[in-house]
Each structure stands twice: as C-alpha cells, then as structure tokens.
C-alpha cells in the first residue's frame, strides 16, 4: 500500500444528490427526491445538492432552456425547503473537479459495466445506439464522480437510480483495489418512503416523467391549484372502492399510485392511508387528494415564481454554493491524482 493510500476508513456522514436541469420538475422529482433532500437536512449530515447540468447535455439541450431550467431547478430546491446557507446548493459545471474525477472513473469503469445499465438501454432502445452521444454512455462514471468527489456516504434517490448507485460502489471498490488504497467510501443508496417511484397519472405501468409527451400524465411543480386539481380529477383509476389492506392494491397500479402519492404528501405510510380511506370510491378519495396536493404544492409553485423574478440572486446562491463545494472537492481530487501518480505543480 502506497503512502498516499494511508487514509481513514471512516468518513464524515455526508449526503450528496443531483437532479438534471433538463426540463421542468415533476411531482416524481419532488416526492422521490427533493422532499427527501429537505428531510435529510439537519445535524446528522452535511448535505450537498447539485443541478447536474453536465449530465443534462448528454442529450441535446437548447442553451437558453438549459440556463432557465437550471435557475428554475434551484428555485424549486429553495421553495421546497432546502436552505442554501445550510446545504450546499450549486450547479455541477461550476465545480470542475466533478468532470476531472469523471475522466479518471471513465478509465476505471469497464465498457461491459456501462453497457449493462438499464437507463442506457432504455434511452437507446428502438433507436440507433451508434448515434447516441459518448457522454450518454459514460454518464454513470460522471455520476460516480459527483458522489465520490465529496466522499459522500449517503445518496437519496428514486428507485430508477438504484443500478447507477451499485455501479458507483463498483467503481469505488475497483479504484481502491487497483491502487491498493482505502480512499473512496462504498456509498449507501437511500431509497425510502412511500413514493420512490411515482407513476404516470395516465398509465400506472409508466414512471411519471418530464419527458412524457402528455402533460396530463404528470403534475409539474409549476402547476397552479387549478391545474393540479384537474390532473388529479382526470387521473386514470378503476371502478373499485379502496380496499381494507395494501394487498388489495397489488393488481391496481393506478389506485396504488394515488395512495402512495397521498401518503408521501401527508408524511404517512401507505398502510395508514388505506386504513383511513378503506371502502371509499375514487369520487371521494380524489377530492381529498386534490385538497392535500394543493395545500402542499401550491405554496411551492408560488414561491418558485417569486424566486424566478430575481435570477441574479439565484446566480449568487449557485456561485456561493460552488465555492463551498470546491473547498471539499479540490483536496479530494488532489489526493486522487497523487494516488494515481500524476506529477503535481511545484509548490
């Protein structure tokens, strides 16, 4: 083991997560990610949240839209309750160590690992994979760098990111093994709560997504009270009443989805929601869900709109967050280069 590798085996409890500024925020992003980011702020962890603009451009982004979406995402984080003086909030491209470590990890990760990623397979399915960007293929190596350039120990995400986090552990383990060090932590995914996979309001077998062509399939964080109410009222359901137990929802994905959304918004378990609403028809349950959703979401969209009126203030927050982030990333990258054997600049 080299001298450079004589590093501590215990790591500061540190949370990192990221969201792509590739379109508007959905209720899936809010319940599966941002709301949980807010819940993890506190004395237990250092919390670091990133707008991953470098990931967004693995597929084409109109430059003006990318700028607007990055600011809007930042406004969404803050409106939902992320405190930028407590958490570190910034956009990825302002912290160059992400891309730098990403390159090293592109040399650690194997082609075969990348080719097995379901997100890569889904995004290229039925299309010409030869025409996909190289960045889209390498995406998970940059994601591993996002996390490990902080030595982050915990990563809250939705269910769809599970495989990428397993790959992050594989990259950390291979780096540690190849260089004979104990330098990168094996990060814990945090995939918890009632809504780690929010489904489309039109089709219970599809994930709610900002890229779905139908706007009725999702609730956007910028939707006003009327839009939220209309989308929930029109959400696909079935003619049966709500059952007595969760087991009764097994073959009813649309019903299950609305129960999960209710539970996550109300900070309750899905079991609790079922026992409180057992026997109700959707004609009764949907209005209760509309009231709850409007109560929780409308103040966030109002606050987002207010913050978006002052883009200079958002840019200031992102810049200040990036400066704080670099205090952590610069020494970790320097140490990584040292382990790899890169000659440093003279002191």
- Output the smallest distance, CB 140 to ligand TRP, in A: 8
35 given a catalytic annotation: no
* Residue of 162, 174, 210, 335 marked catalytic: 210
123 given a catalytic annotation: yes
- Output the smallest distance, CB 104 to ligand TRP, in A: 16
Is 54 an interacting residue with respect to ligand AMP (CB under 6 A)? no
Binding mask 198-237 for ligand AMP (x = CB under 6 A): x--------xx-----------------------------
Select from ligand TRP, ligand AMP, none the partner in contact with residue 143, using the beta carbon and a kind-dependent cut-off of 5 to 8 Å: ligand TRP
Options 13-21, 60-68, 199-207, 265-273: segment touching ligand TRP (CB under 6 A): 13-21
- Residue 323 CA to residue 331 CA, distance in Å, equals 13
Cβ-in-10-Å burial (0-12, 13-18, 19+) of 327 comes to exposed
Options 15-23, 100-108, 214-222, 273-281: segment touching ligand TRP (CB under 6 A): 15-23
How many other CB atoms are there within 10 angstroms of residue 129's CB atom? 14
Select from ligand AMP, ligand TRP, none the partner in contact with residue 207, using the beta carbon and a kind-dependent cut-off of 5 to 8 Å: ligand AMP
Structure token digits, residue 107: 């040399």
Residue with tokens 């979401």: 297
Is 176 an interacting residue with respect to ligand AMP (CB under 6 A)? no
Structure token digits, residue 321: 């967050």
Is 161 an interacting residue with respect to ligand TRP (CB under 6 A)? yes
Residue with tokens 């291979």: 174
Select from ligand AMP, ligand TRP, none the partner in contact with residue 197, using the beta carbon and a kind-dependent cut-off of 5 to 8 Å: ligand AMP
Residue with tokens 């319940």: 31
**Closer to ligand TRP at the Cβ: 25 or 259?**
25
Positive or negative CA dihedral for 58, 187, 156, 197? positive
**Closer to ligand AMP at the Cβ: 84 or 156?**
156
Return the half-sphere exposure (C-beta side, CA atoms, 13 A cut-off) of residue 246.
11
**Applying CB under 6 A, which of residues 53, 72, 97, 146 lies at the interface with ligand TRP?**
146
Do the Cβ atoms of 80 and 34 come closer than 8 Å? Answer: yes
**Applying CB under 6 A, which of residues 52, 74, 258, 304 lies at the interface with ligand TRP?**
52
210 given a catalytic annotation: yes
Is 51 an interacting residue with respect to ligand TRP (CB under 6 A)? no
**Closer to ligand TRP at the Cβ: 143 or 255?**
143
DSSP string, 66-88: HHHHHHHHHHHHHHHT--TTTSE
Select from ligand TRP, ligand AMP, none the partner in contact with residue 154, using the beta carbon and a kind-dependent cut-off of 5 to 8 Å: none
**Terminal-to-terminal C-alpha distance of the chain:** 25
Do the Cβ atoms of 314 and 307 come closer than 8 Å? Answer: yes
- Residue 300 CA to residue 281 CA, distance in Å, equals 29
Of 34, 129, 94, give the one whose Cα is nearest residue 321. 94
Do the Cβ atoms of 300 and 81 come closer than 8 Å? Answer: no
- Residue 24 CA to residue 273 CA, distance in Å, equals 29
Tell me the CA distances in angstroms from 13 to 188, 193, 207, 252, 321, one per residue in order.
Answer: 11, 20, 31, 39, 19
Is 27 an interacting residue with respect to ligand TRP (CB under 6 A)? no
Select from ligand TRP, ligand AMP, none the partner in contact with residue 147, using the beta carbon and a kind-dependent cut-off of 5 to 8 Å: ligand TRP
**Closer to ligand AMP at the Cβ: 201 or 317?**
201
Is 160 an interacting residue with respect to ligand AMP (CB under 6 A)? yes
The residues that touch ligand TRP, with contacts defined as CB under 6 A, are 16-18, 20, 52, 55, 143, 146-147, 155, 157, 161, 164
Catalytic (active-site) positions: 123, 207, 210
What residue ranges bind ligand AMP (CB under 6 A)? 19-20, 28-29, 32-33, 157-158, 160-161, 196-198, 207-208
């Amino acid at each position: 083991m080299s001298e450079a590798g004589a590093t501590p085996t215990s790591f500061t409890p540190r949370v990192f997560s990221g969201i792509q500024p590739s379109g508007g925020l959905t209720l899936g992003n809010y319940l599966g990610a941002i709301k949980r980011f807010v819940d993890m702020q506190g004395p237990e962890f250092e919390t670091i949240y990133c707008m991953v603009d470098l990931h967004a451009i693995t597929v084409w982004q109109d430059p003006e839209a990318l700028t607007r979406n990055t600011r809007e995402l930042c406004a969404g984080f803050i409106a939902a309750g992320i405190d930028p003086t407590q958490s570190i909030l910034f956009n990825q491209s302002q912290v160059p160590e992400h891309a730098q470590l990403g390159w090293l990890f592109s040399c650690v990760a194997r082609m075969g690992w990348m080719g097995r990623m379901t997100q890569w397979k889904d995004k290229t399915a039925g299309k010409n994979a030869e025409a996909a960007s190289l960045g889209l293929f390498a995406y998970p190596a940059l994601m591993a760098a996002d996390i490990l350039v902080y030595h982050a120990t915990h990563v809250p995400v939705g269910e769809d990111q599970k495989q990428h986090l397993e790959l992050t552990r594989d990259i950390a383990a291979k780096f540690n093994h190849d260089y004979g060090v104990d330098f990168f932590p094996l990060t814990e995914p945090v995939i918890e709560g009632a809504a780690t996979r929010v489904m489309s309001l039109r089709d219970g077998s599809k994930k709610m997504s900002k890229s779905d062509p139908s706007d009725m399939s999702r609730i956007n964080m910028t939707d006003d009270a009327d839009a939220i109410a209309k989308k929930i009222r029109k959400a696909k359901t079935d003619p049966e009443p709500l059952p007595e137990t969760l087991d009764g929802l097994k073959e009813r994905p649309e019903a299950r989805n609305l129960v999960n959304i209710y539970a996550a918004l109300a900070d309750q378990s899905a079991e609790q929601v079922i026992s409180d609403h057992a026997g109700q028809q959707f004609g009764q349950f949907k209005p209760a869900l509309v009231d709850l959703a409007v109560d929780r979401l409308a103040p966030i969209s109002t606050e987002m709109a207010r913050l978006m009126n002052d883009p200079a203030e958002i840019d200031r927050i992102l810049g200040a967050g990036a400066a704080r982030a670099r205090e952590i990333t610069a020494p970790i990258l320097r140490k990584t280069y040292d382990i790899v054997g890169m000659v440093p600049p003279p002191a």
